[in-house]
Amino acid sequence: MGVWLAGALLVGTIVWRPLAEQQSRETIKVAVVSYLSYAPIFVAQEEGFFAAEGLAVELLSVTRISTAIPALVQGDIDVLPAAIMPSYFNIINRGGLMKVVAGKGYNSSEGCAYSGIMARRKLLESGELSSARDMAGRRVSTERTSPSYYRFNKFLVAADLTLDDLTVIDIPAAAKFDAFKSGALDVATASEPWVTRYERAGDALLWSRTSNHLPGFQFGYLLFGKNLLEDNIEAGERFILAYLKAVRHLNAEGKSEQHIDVLEKYTGLDRDLLAEACWAPLRNDGRAQPESLEEYQHWALEQGLIDFIAPIDLLYEPRFIDRANRLLADESNGG
């Protein structure tokens, strides 16, 4: 975790500007954690995309993104970039005003693997884990209410297994190095930078990338609360335009030295790790995928994690990202 995040639940970044400039900018509060999937937010902040739209964006650090959902509904924050989770739907279904307005990371079948199933190296090399069915009776680390459980459950179902067929243990990410090494852990879900970190340590390998069993699935979203959905729509439009510009800049430039500088600052990860790790894939149009929201809801209902299925128009407001795409298309066409 970077120094800028340390020691606080909610700490805004401080950027000194002339008083007149500070007064002219509109403040938007965004909850963040120091994950690689937040790259477009960090790039938009550091490289001036938000400022160019007349926005003073405060990045507010939270230890767990799920804890920021009530703050979004209550208006204490304006934007919540987050992985998909049951609490989205439960709060919206109970009348909380927040909506998905754009997409973030998704599972691409091309290029590197941002997330997947890790397995103990010795089991893979010995052939003891030659198929997913071989997980039966193995020690597995997963958490049923975490976003990663959805992809792990899909992996299980494809192998005709359930959690009852496994020995489920709760191990923090940092403790998995020793657990893989000692043989206390056989299989675990992981996202970057942990995929690279575990492989570097030498005792675990990426066994199956998430896109193998959830191709194209949108796992990350941007959500707006009442302020930007109803009270200050114009500021929300400018925020999403800046966000989409950052997404396209990231896709065009990739792991440039400039982008590595930004992620090193905001995540606290060292440059070599950032250069080696897979960065979350981003769709160039920044749109959320309604089919992913629907698919996840049906699964969550079957698992008893949500109360009922909400219609897409209650969950997703596409006008912001649609407008941003139109404006950028006009710019590229000389309009």
User: Based on the structure, what is the number of domains in the chain?
Assistant: 2
Domain range holding 171?
115-212
CATH code: domain of residue 125: 3.40.190.10
H helices present in the chain, as ranges: 19-24, 39-46, 49-52, 69-74, 86-93, 121-126, 147-158, 176-182, 194-201, 226, 233-253, 257-267, 271-276, 290-302, 312-315, 319-332
Last residue of a domain, one of 165, 181, 212: 212
Calculate the CA 105 to chain-centre distance: 6
Q: Is residue 312 within 8 Å of residue 237, measured between CB atoms?
A: no
Question: Does one domain contain both 93 and 238?
Answer: yes
**Mean residue pLDDT across the chain:** 90
pLDDT tens digits along 87-138: 888 998 888 899 999 999 999 999 999 999 999 999 999 999 999 999 999 9
Query: Both 224 and 326 in a single domain?
Result: yes
Supply φ then ψ for residue 64, to 5 degrees: -135, 130
| Same domain assignment for residues 303 and 327 | yes
Q: Do 121 and 263 reside in the same domain of the chain? A: no
Which residues lie across from 189 on neighbouring strands? 117
How far apart (Å, rounded) are the C-alpha atoms in residues 101 and 317? Answer: 5
Q: Is the pLDDT of residue 56 over 70?
A: yes
Same domain, 236 and 199: no
| pLDDT tens digit sequence for 167-202 | 999 899 999 999 999 999 999 999 999 999 999 999
Q: Are residues 201 and 127 in the same domain?
A: yes
Residues in a beta bridge with 100: 223, 316
Indicate the pTM of the whole model: 0.88
Name the domain boundary from 193, 212, 231: 212
Measured CA to CA, the distance from residue 45 to residue 57 in angstroms comes to 7
**Which of the listed residues 177, 196, 212 is the one where a domain comes to its end?**
212
Same domain, 227 and 257: yes
